[in-house]
Amino acid sequence: MSTVMVAKKLRRKWENLPGKNTFCCDGRVMMARQKGVFFLTLFLIVGTCALFFAFECPYLAVNLSPAIPAVGAVLFLFVVAMLFRTSFSDPGVLPRALPEEATFIEMEIEAANGNVPPGQRAPPRIRNVQINNQIVKLKYCYTCKIFRPPRASHCSVCDNCVERFDHHCPWVGNCVGKRNYRYFYLFTFSLSLLTIFIFAFDIVQRW
């Protein structure tokens, strides 16, 4: 019984410090709170493909090949799947320091920097670590209270540090980072193919 009570009291870091993200399915799905442009993206993709399948595909299937609607459907499903994977995946959010962890880090920094005279700016908070026999500087994030690894940056929209942060994309409603970059690349590539596919056969149908 006590074990069950302890398990119920335990909370994950994203539950205590969620930043500006929305979590669903026990933390397996996450998105930025600004979802309007994402739904616009989904509407444009679904709407364009619906018009193509409703008005162009019947003619193309009869006069050219029945494989055209099938290929278009596969491309459409792949694009939507990659959009969802990009939008709902964790881009590589670095957990924030809990209050007790942040206090310990602050004590370490103060001990390393010593007493700073009044009116004098404190030195930048940087930690040097050795990786593969090379000295790498880790920058301190004042919001997340952590030393960020190389190529990690703080997203002002989601209010989180993201590993290998590329950019925040409003069209997918999420940051693009280490863990969802491949899905973002596949989404943009497949969307380009789908766009070319629709426009090409629209021109063929009009001829």
Catalytic residues: 169
| 187 closest CA partner among 201, 206, 169, 204 | 169
Pairing of strands 160-162, 167-169: unpaired
Beta bridge partners of 123: none
The residues facing 30 across adjacent strands are: 23
- Do the beta carbons of residue 116 and residue 122 sit within 8 Å? yes
What is the C-alpha to C-alpha distance for residues 58 and 72, in angstroms, rounded to an integer? 12
Tokens of 43: 């509407």
Which of 16, 33, 15 minimizes the C-alpha distance to 168? 33
CA atoms within 13 A on the CB side of 203: 5
Asked whether 93 and 161 are in contact (CB, 8 A), the reply is yes
